Structure 1
Amino acid sequence: MPLDSKDIKDEGADPSQDADVLVSQLAAQDETPWYKKRNLRTLYFILVPTCIGVEMTSGFDSSMMNGLQTVRSFDTFFHSPRSTLLGLMSAIYSLGAIIVLPVVPWVSDHLGRRWAIIVGSIIMMIGAAIQAAAQNFAMFVCGRLLLGCGIPFAIIAASSLIGELSHPKERAILGSLFNSCYFIGSIIAAGITLGTFSMPTNWGWRIPSLLQVLPSLMQITFIFLLPESPRFLISKGRGEEAFAILAKYHAEGDVNSEFVKAEYVQIEKTLQLEQETAHRNWKELLATSGMRKRMLVGSALGLFTQWSGNGLTSYFLARILDNVGITDKHTQSIVNLATTLWGFVNATFFALVSSRFPRRVMYLFCTISLLLVFTGWTIASARYNIANDQASSKTVLAFIFIYSPCYNMAYNALTYSGFPGRVVPVPRTGEGYRSVPMVLSFFNQFVNPIGIENAGWKYYISYVVFLLFEVVFVYFLFPETSNRTLEELAFLYEDDKREEQQRRVVDEIDHDVHGSGSISEKHGEAAHIDEVPRSA
């Protein structure tokens, strides 16, 4: 029989605390580092190729498209794509993601996280093969469309598995490292295109295109060494399996662990909340001023992560360098590789330290520094355009490198590690957040090469203006979520009725952790989203 919350009792729990706070407290009391726990250490090693490494596919794609623009055979075969054609080549990847997004949660929630990763990986491998074998522009674009169709299955399931399998002590760091792996894929692709850019045959661009199968192949190879999500198993009535996984990896096999019992109850409560709110429509979700504010901030964050200039350097670096006189293909390839290496270094650094700083402060530093960088970048580009000043060209190059840590300190480090989920609570996080970046990424990637081609440095002014808006928005509307439970965040947003409901739930969850009764007989919504696994 599956475990029920009534089977999980603990006499030592503090009755004044809810399950989430109890989980956080017990995790903090555990002073043994992860690398000294055999089972947890093994789990994290397997997470690298199967889940954390999923972002390598996106990183490979952006850097490959950057690099292919320096490959002479690519330019010759596709008749020097610029402006609209180049935008379509790049943006079609995001369009594929948009097309399949409605079915991704169904696959992940019905087949499991592991099978969702397999489905996505197979689709991406087929797409990469078509892309590499392309005989014309249309076939190349179709291959990239399939690549885009596969990536949401893998990314959403992998990010969920990271949160649902990892120990709460390392969860935020692993979530941040997930984004850092983007740069590993970028480095590999940049190195490959640097090695093939001078090839006289079409293999100069076909080899990088074909090697895009590698991250997906790695995921398929290792995925069944990874346990399934306890959250998924509980949702399917397989509670005993879920409890065994939690005990094995979070308590080194101790089935009597108070911490594991609290985690189990926490997951059950969250799933119950999702079932209660699953059939609410958008009108109901936006009925209160608090939820409208939450959705506004969550959607704005999705907008900011895509429209802060990152799309320029990720996909169109060669065109930016062309506009400031750096036209040598070999030099452009080296710059592409150097920026990806530098991005990996600073992104990993911020992934490891971001949890030590208040999130709102990180976002403020991020947006203000990006505004200053883009202002200087725009001025230097204008000076080069007016006076053909080589010093201005070098200044633009310097700003490209400075941009990377300014962006990664918050928009990269915090994207998968807490802020969105704490502002837009389960289960609305997926509705209010995940779809926004994909839609905006398509628009951004399509428009950027057109703007660069037709407006030159003047196009950057639009980013300066928008970044100024970001600074103002973050300053006035972003809440500080560090060291606050969901109940405390609800008090910031919601009315007195909501506050009273949250207080009632605190007593109910604690009763389930160490008292009697079944969760199915109660209602509750107490959760610390940083610590609660989120549904794909």
Structure 2
Amino acid sequence: MASQARTKKPTPEPREPEPVPGFWLTEATEIAETEHRAPANNPPHGVIAAVVASNTFKDAFSPDTSTEGLVVSMFTAGAFFGAGAAGPLGDRLGRRGTIVAGALFFLLGGGLQTGARDIHMMWVGRLMSGLGVGALCMIVPLYQAELAHPSIRGTVTALQQLMIGIGAFVATWVGWGCYTQLTTTSAQWRIPLAIQNIPAIILAALTFLFPESPRWLGDKGRDEEMLKTLARLHSNNDVNDAFVRAEYEQIKTAVEIEHQQEARSYMDLFRSRSSFRRLFLCCAIQASVQMTGVSAIQYYSPRIFEQIGIATQDTLKYQGISNGLAIIAQTLAMLLIDRTGRRWPLIGGNIFNSVTFIIAAVLLALFPPGESNNLSAQWGFIVVTWLYNFSFSSTCGPLSWIIVAEVFDTRTRSKGVSIATMVSFAFNTMIGQVTPEGMESVGYQFYFLFIVCNITNAIFFWLFLPETARRPLEEMNELFSSNSWIVAGKASKRYNGHDLENRLHEKEHHASVDVQAENAYAETK
């Protein structure tokens, strides 16, 4: 009877997941954190660019070059250590708890900055805000990747970069408005610093409405909660849904294997060949993103704008336009990233970046800042920086977080993403510090560094980066354990958004065939 019942059981048809709960929950997370994470990839700009440029800030703190530099570098230093701390916190407190902790640290730092009475108070506030942003940069894309269905994981994780772009856009125009309109009061710099706290409050409050990561729940042995969370994310709370049951079993099996074999400490990331390969690749991705020149061109282009005769308020305005173009690019990336994949957009983005730096170097060589007033050259340089920002925001920017968040297994994900994020902020700080000196010493020739780095980045990714799009997270172990490190010219098995349903469909089909064969054999007896 049991066999007959099983043969009559309808097999689930492959389908796209119902995205309403999971997709929009994750988008709500990003909307909540929009503005206060803007400085994460753009530390010298966003809010702080208008702040340090304002006359009332200079009157209040009388900053010299090194003092002003510390206002920026204290933030990135805090972000470095915040990303490191978020690794173990993500495993102990859970993904939600770490997000809340990061938001609270940012709020504390934002309050100190807004109410700063001396430069030391400003430095401490920047450090505390950096701690919060570092933790959030590490934990949020990881949380997104663990919530999302494979078919929309890239889209969901790309929301991070889109919302960073919106945050930078809002921050730039708020800063511009305060810079131009509030010229005689400390509100000129206090208001931009205060406004950035509002999204942090919303984020800390709304996070309690979101589900905990099902992978983290499974790792902690809370299987019933994991099943209910998967049902909430993918099937409107139907725990008997075919996809939900298949993913539940796959996560449970993967976690059991990881508990026996995979990394349990940071050192094990370096001992396991598969784990080290992923760690090396993710650290290389984060370092390469900074070596594309994003921090350099965003940090130094406003100074070049000023040198070629553009007023500070116009510089901030052009930066705002650039951030608006970045939003368009990030939106395109979010919509297309799961169709185009990860590998080739990252390669193509680096190649295009190198072209923009070649053009910028030629313009600066032919029309040196401070010596030439060629209006066409000025606009040429401005447009090139816009094109670079569009290219970066549609490829390298979002992909650097998407790939890092999806390649590790459950046991190593928090640790691996933590280390990769620390590498990002370390290189961010380095480039921010050496760019002014480099440009002052060798001028436009400093851009040759980024031309070379973008080209070598493209070659590196062509050689070593496998395609990870639309693969279930639990399949990453197989991808990085069984394939050669060099992937150029080698085909690998493709997965799609229906993978779990297809495997379940195939499993039940084989079971049905076996039962029919048994019945036919019994009838011949």
Q: Same fold (TM over 0.5)?
A: yes
Q: Work out which of the residue numbers 39, 56, 71 in structure 2 matches 1:73.
A: 56
Can you list the C-alpha shifts for 1:62-110, whole angstroms capped at 9, x where unaligned? 311222344232344343643x443322122121122233432222222
5 Å-filtered alignment, 1:361-440, equals 361-385=344-368, 387-418=372-403, 421-422=406-407, 427=412, 429-430=416-417, 433-440=420-427
2:76 matched residue in structure 1: 94
Q: Distance in 1 between matches of 2:470 and 2:133?
A: 33
Q: In the alignment, is the contact (CA less than 8 A) between 1:354 and 1:413 conserved in 2?
A: no
Worse overlay, 362-371 or 135-144: 135-144
The answer to whether structure 1 residue 448 and structure 2 residue 435 are counterparts is yes
Q: Distance in 2 between matches of 1:301 and 1:370?
A: 15
Q: In the alignment, is the contact (CA less than 8 A) between 2:363 and 2:381 conserved in 1?
A: yes
Q: Work out which of the residue numbers 354, 363, 366 in structure 1 matches 2:337.
A: 354
5 Å-filtered alignment, 1:272-351, equals 272-275=256-259, 276-279=261-264, 282=267, 285=270, 288=273, 294-326=278-310, 328-351=311-334
Gaps of 5+ in 1: 1-9, 13-24, 496-509, 516-536
TM-score, normalization: structure 2? 0.80
The CA deviation at 1:249 is 2.7
Can you list the C-alpha shifts for 1:87-144, whole angstroms capped at 9, x where unaligned? 3221221211222334322222222222212211111111011112222322212110
Amino acid at match of 1:416: W
SS in structure 2 of the partner of residue 416 of structure 1: helix
5 Å-filtered alignment, 1:2-17, equals none
Q: Work out which of the residue numbers 151, 154, 177 in structure 1 matches 2:136.
A: 154
- Structure-2 change in CA distance of 1:123 and 1:32 (3 Å): closer
SS in structure 2 of the partner of residue 169 of structure 1: helix
Amino acid at match of 1:491: S
SS in structure 2 of the partner of residue 197 of structure 1: helix
The answer to whether structure 1 residue 460 and structure 2 residue 444 are counterparts is no
The CA deviation at 1:377 is 0.6
The CA deviation at 1:181 is 0.7
Q: Work out which of the residue numbers 174, 181, 188 in structure 1 matches 2:163.
A: 181
Q: In the alignment, is the contact (CA less than 8 A) between 1:132 and 1:207 conserved in 2?
A: yes
- Structure-2 change in CA distance of 1:314 and 1:271 (3 Å): farther
5 Å-filtered alignment, 1:22-41, equals 29-31=14-16, 34=19, 37=20, 39-40=21-22
SS in structure 1 of the partner of residue 401 of structure 2: coil
The answer to whether structure 1 residue 265 and structure 2 residue 249 are counterparts is yes
- Structure-2 change in CA distance of 1:321 and 1:78 (3 Å): farther
Q: In the alignment, is the contact (CA less than 8 A) between 2:34 and 2:199 conserved in 1?
A: no
The CA deviation at 1:174 is 0.6
SS in structure 1 of the partner of residue 238 of structure 2: coil
Q: In the alignment, is the contact (CA less than 8 A) between 2:51 and 2:175 conserved in 1?
A: yes
Q: In the alignment, is the contact (CA less than 8 A) between 1:234 and 1:268 conserved in 2?
A: yes
5 Å-filtered alignment, 1:506-521, equals none
Q: Distance in 2 between matches of 1:294 and 1:447?
A: 29
5 Å-filtered alignment, 1:462-477, equals 462-477=449-464
- Structure-2 change in CA distance of 1:444 and 1:86 (3 Å): farther
- Structure-2 change in CA distance of 1:32 and 1:116 (3 Å): closer
- Structure-2 change in CA distance of 1:465 and 1:164 (3 Å): closer
Q: Distance in 2 between matches of 1:466 and 1:42?
A: 37
Q: In the alignment, is the contact (CA less than 8 A) between 1:323 and 1:456 conserved in 2?
A: no
Worse overlay, 258-267 or 228-237: 228-237
- Structure-2 change in CA distance of 1:32 and 1:118 (3 Å): closer
1:490 matched residue in structure 2: 481
Q: Work out which of the residue numbers 102, 108, 118 in structure 2 matches 1:120.
A: 102
The CA deviation at 1:493 is 2.3
Q: In the alignment, is the contact (CA less than 8 A) between 2:52 and 2:68 conserved in 1?
A: no
The CA deviation at 1:294 is 4.5
Q: Distance in 2 between matches of 1:395 and 1:264?
A: 54
Q: In the alignment, is the contact (CA less than 8 A) between 1:297 and 1:423 conserved in 2?
A: no
Q: Distance in 1 between matches of 2:408 and 2:223?
A: 29
2:521 matched residue in structure 1: none
Q: Distance in 2 between matches of 1:185 and 1:63?
A: 8
Can you list the C-alpha shifts for 1:365-410, whole angstroms capped at 9, x where unaligned? 1111111100111111122215443322221111010101221232
1:236 matched residue in structure 2: 220
Q: Distance in 1 between matches of 2:97 and 2:271?
A: 33
Q: Distance in 2 between matches of 1:121 and 1:213?
A: 9
SS in structure 2 of the partner of residue 241 of structure 1: helix
The CA deviation at 1:213 is 0.8
The answer to whether structure 1 residue 214 and structure 2 residue 195 are counterparts is no
Q: Distance in 2 between matches of 1:449 and 1:460?
A: 12
5 Å-filtered alignment, 1:157-172, equals 157-172=139-154
1:196 matched residue in structure 2: 178
Structure ranking higher on relative contact order (CA contacts 8 Å, 6+ apart) = 1
Amino acid at match of 1:142: V
SS in structure 1 of the partner of residue 463 of structure 2: helix
Q: Distance in 2 between matches of 1:164 and 1:291?
A: 18
Can you list the C-alpha shifts for 1:142-175, whole angstroms capped at 9, x where unaligned? 1101101112333333223222223333222010
The CA deviation at 1:313 is 3.9
- Structure-2 change in CA distance of 1:215 and 1:410 (3 Å): same
Q: Work out which of the residue numbers 136, 146, 163 in structure 1 matches 2:118.
A: 136
Q: In the alignment, is the contact (CA less than 8 A) between 1:162 and 1:171 conserved in 2?
A: yes
- Structure-2 change in CA distance of 1:78 and 1:231 (3 Å): same
TM-score, normalization: structure 1? 0.79
The CA deviation at 1:301 is 0.9
Can you list the C-alpha shifts for 1:39-61, whole angstroms capped at 9, x where unaligned? 45663454344567774463685
Amino acid at match of 1:348: T
Q: Distance in 2 between matches of 1:409 and 1:306?
A: 15
- Structure-2 change in CA distance of 1:480 and 1:232 (3 Å): closer
Q: Distance in 1 between matches of 2:409 and 2:420?
A: 8
Q: In the alignment, is the contact (CA less than 8 A) between 1:87 and 1:449 conserved in 2?
A: no
Worse overlay, 273-282 or 144-153: 273-282
The CA deviation at 1:426 is 6.2
Q: What is the aligned-residue RMSD (CA, Å)? A: 3.4
Q: Work out which of the residue numbers 208, 216, 221 in structure 2 matches 1:224.
A: 208
Amino acid at match of 1:169: S
Higher CA-based Rg: 2
Q: Distance in 2 between matches of 1:110 and 1:173?
A: 28
- Structure-2 change in CA distance of 1:489 and 1:118 (3 Å): closer
